[in-house]
Chains A and B, each alone.
Chain A
Amino acid sequence: MLVLSRKTGESIIIGGQITVKVMRVEGDVVKLGIQAPAEVPVHRQEVYEEIQRNNREALTSERPAAPKLSPQKGSRPLSKPVVEKPQASTPA
């Protein structure tokens, strides 16, 4: 692992496109400012890992029956889809 020392306000640049700037240091908390292209998602690692794990648990190849939801107080019946269907921008 490459280890670099940086002061508040200093940055590193990765791959010519991603900059990571030390914004503030407060005790053991470092605030980082990250600029990356839109196609490079940036996540806190523990959040990324827990959502990744959850997605893996959710993926199914057997298409089991969906659970039956309890009716919600004061809501429309859940037997029908309640959202508008997506529409493509180009008309048929």
Chain B
Amino acid sequence: MNVTQTTELEPLTVKSENIIHLPLGLLGFEHLKKYVLLYNEQDAPFRWLQVLTDPKLAFLVLCPFEVLPEYQPEITDDDAEFLGLKSPQDALVWNIVTLRGNGHATINLKGPVILNRYTLTGKQVVIANASQYALQHPLPVIGTTES
């Protein structure tokens, strides 16, 4: 995938200021710390959180609030401080989606990736109210596709 054709971040080339930094990586992928968030029309509203150093590798992510309006992740003060979040409006929330075959998919509501929208520094946090939400919450999908 050509990054220059698919990134929605301006400008259209991957510049250092558009790189998402996850200083702690993702859980299980602690060594992968730099990503870009890519968008293409046919996958909307999903995006791809692509590993900067290995463009083959990517996670499908979704901003959950439109699909799951009752989802209210709460993050700890320590995580807010780590991310430099002064208010909830400073945060972008992306939850990792897992394709389960036949067009089915689940979304991880316990451990979203929270980004500071100004610094693009992020962390996969375990939310303080994780016990209320599923790790593999089924997404409402229409029809099925070949797996």
A interface vs B, CB < 8 Å? 38-39, 41, 43-44, 47-48, 50-61, 63-70, 72, 75-76, 78-90, 92
Contact = CB atoms under 8 A, between A and B. Distances in A.
Contact of A69 (B56, B57, B108, B141): B141
Given A58-B96, A75-B69, A87-B118, A51 B11 contact: no
B24 A47 contact: no
Contact count band on B:
35 or more
A69 B45 CA distance: 9
Nearest to B39: A81
Given A67-B104, A68-B103, A69-B141, A54 B136 contact: yes
B111 to A, nearest CB: 4
B92 interface: yes
By DSSP majority rule, is chain B's interface helix, strand, loop, or mixed?
loop
A34 to B, nearest CB: 10
A63 B58 CA distance: 7
Interface of B: 1, 8-11, 17-18, 20, 23-24, 26-29, 37, 39, 42-48, 56-60, 63, 65-67, 69, 78, 81-82, 92, 96-99, 103-105, 108, 110-111, 115, 117-120, 124, 126, 130, 135-136, 139-143, 145
Closest 8 CB pairs of A and B: A52-B28, A88-B17, A66-B43, A70-B140, A66-B46, A58-B98, A83-B63, A89-B118
Contacts of B111: 51, 54
22 contacts: A41-B24, A48-B126, A50-B135, A58-B59, A58-B98, A59-B57, A60-B60, A60-B99, A61-B56, A61-B57, A61-B58, A63-B1, A67-B46, A70-B141, A78-B44, A81-B44, A82-B63, A86-B20, A86-B120, A88-B118, A90-B17, A92-B10
